[in-house]
Chain A
């Protein structure tokens, strides 16, 4: 249940991250949250997931702003900034974790579940927390829908319209960070980025509209959460995070291949179709060239002369016959009136098209 809600909210907010080309922000933030967790533990000395979340949130936000200021102030590119934040924060977190582990204190065990995540550790309380955050972000999403959308696609225009772009920006980033921090406990640091990305990337293949994309991404996310948790409980002994990610990845793969407009399969089919079409037209044009030299356009010719002509194949000839442009009689072919006219207009059409 918790993973479903989490998947849904990840999908929703992930759509924004993907469209803003900040896909790997999730990865960076989830790593950056580690020192926050460690510091929260160091300060309080108790294992309370709420305090951990708070610490993670703070250091996650810190990481985000660090990334932003690095890309803004220096000539370092965003990928470097992301990589820096990710590795440096995580390294610092590692230092703190190993430091904590050396301390004579029994309650430190279990901090590393945050590295890989275990949905089984989710309590009812946590699910409620996730649900509440999901609700709030849904509400915000509705209220600021217009602003988010316009910021996404044309930032300068937004500015000229008088919106406070910085505020909107910070708002949406904050919600992404909150989601990531919540997700850490379930799927872990390393796989959180996939949680954010995969549903959105899959949804992107099916639609060009932002609204539908967000809804689809939410559905995909929830689906992979449920199925992943299901598989991991049934087969036992598997951590939930990787399974969820794999389910989400298969959805992405499926979308890549089968989506009607952008999918690879349909693209390949369209590509083949076009190629055959061109082949057929080429053959027709060649025939037209031959037929023109004769008084009677239906004068039969041997099929053999077509051999060696590029674009000619049995298939394209058959297609021409099917279209009733050409008649075949044994080893001879002859053009029909219809075929002659089509061929005559073939190049005219192309000229007209290029005029347009």
Chain B
């Protein structure tokens, strides 16, 4: 790993964090698609800025681009407020129009300059480490500059610091206005200010991240970590942390994936994000698919290398032919091996997954069985006053349980002070009485409202 690689990784990790924070709030506020709209319409800002200063590196471009983003938001709000169309339609109308103006302006006026749509739309990180921020330069004197390191780090770092400061300062306000706009307004924070503040931050972040990863992938970096984190937790703080973490993870591993495949960093980052999301969303199928494709890729690579060395004319074949040739080298055993690997992984996952796995499911069923049995047992004791019915031995025949099981149940009840045993005669304690009462109530009324309470009670027995 050389220093340029480290710098690129630092930059994308910073971008990922800077995107994940506003992204979380956008997802929670159901405004994810605004980020898409902003990321497209900043093109217009950049183009106009370019015409004013004729310099692609000018900071004015960034300012104008952020401004274009905010204008988009305002336009969308305005159109929505007229009530003529729904919000999503408003978004869908505004940004293509602004984007088209940008594209046409470029096509009309900037043909001979270095500003083409591709460079704006795709984004490239490879040269970021060499684009240094140098200050204190004296004209004509070489080496007079003070080198402050890559520019992109400064840009993103500043944005990140601002975002973090705002986040920490206004965390409470943001939280309230996100989940309950009405309450926030009643408490005296203006939801409008919060809204536009968030929009401004998102817009600036998108512009800052734009150079590095291109607009659509900014959207991926904003939404995907947040959505994945949202599937995993419902706590806002945890969600923020998780989405930052996921973003950074995807950034770093995406970088190495790009390195291996020799493809664009942004694209592979997004692919990693997609895999992460799918893993959380549909763990078994995804992990099976991923392992199949990794295994196939592994074999593919081996045969590919072999063909490169030995193959006649292999290098000059067109791409499709090449792939075809490599696959024709596959033998049945390889496929079996791939699928076997995937199946075993999936099977393994089915067993160990929390909440959805087989083992957990079995455990849960057992747990519930015990609970039901205990309940039946307690009800039985309660219903019978006669001593003969309450004799320990009688239970074995009457409720039709095996000896071992009935013993565990009685022990459990004893442990929880539900019953007392006097001379092999079981009787309910006050606590047991109360509990049984409640259980009967619950069974009879069976209203949703009481379930929660009962669940808490049942936790008594676990463990």
Q: Which residues of A contact B (CB under 8 A)?
A: 18, 21-24, 26-27, 31, 41-46, 70, 73-77, 79-80, 82-84, 86-100, 102-105, 107-108, 112, 115-116, 190-191, 193-194, 196-198, 201, 204-205, 237-239, 241-243, 245-246, 249, 252, 256, 262, 264
Contact = CB atoms under 8 A, between A and B. Distances in A.
Given A41-B319, A94-B270, A107-B318, 20 more contacts: A22-B88, A23-B89, A24-B92, A45-B320, A45-B324, A74-B281, A77-B30, A80-B30, A88-B220, A91-B220, A91-B266, A91-B270, A91-B274, A94-B214, A116-B103, A194-B97, A204-B84, A242-B104, A242-B107, A249-B96
Interface stretch (B48-56, B166-174, B256-264, B445-453): B256-264
Nearest to A104: B315
A227 to B, nearest CB: 14
Nearest to A191: B96
Given A45-B319, A104-B315, A256-B84, A198 B100 contact: no
A79 B96 contact: no
A65 B323 CA distance: 29
Nearest to B257: A95
8 contacts: A24-B33, A70-B281, A194-B96, A201-B84, A241-B100, A245-B97, A249-B96, A256-B84
Interface stretch (B62-70, B117-125, B351-359, B391-399): B117-125
A115 B266 contact: no
B82 interface: yes
Nearest to A200: B89
Contacts of B217: 87, 90-91, 94
Contacts of B178: none
Contacts of B89: 18, 23, 197, 201
Given A75-B230, A191-B96, A194-B93, A100 B270 contact: no
Contact of B219 (A26, A70, A86): A86
Interface in B51-100: 79, 82, 84-86, 88-89, 91-93, 96-97, 99-100
Contact of A92 (B79, B226, B274, B323): B274
A15 to B, nearest CB: 11
Contact of B223 (A22, A46, A87, A96): A87
Contacts, number: 215
A246 to B, nearest CB: 5
Contacts of A115: 121
A88 B99 contact: no
Contacts of B99: 190-191, 242
Contacts of B103: 116, 239, 241-242
Nearest to B320: A45
B97 A246 contact: yes
Chain B contact-residue range equals 35 or more
Interface of B: 27, 30-33, 35-36, 40, 79, 82, 84-86, 88-89, 91-93, 96-97, 99-101, 103-104, 107-108, 111, 117-118, 121-122, 214, 216-217, 219-220, 223-224, 226-227, 230-231, 258, 261-264, 266-271, 273-274, 277, 281, 315, 318-324
Nearest to A189: B216
B216 to A, nearest CB: 5
Contact of B323 (A23, A45, A191): A45
Contacts of B91: 23-24
A301 B237 CA distance: 72
Contacts of A256: 79, 82, 84
B321 A79 contact: no
B92 A90 contact: no
Contacts of A70: 281
Contacts of B101: 242, 246
A238 B104 contact: yes
Contact of B35 (A83, A88, A91): A83
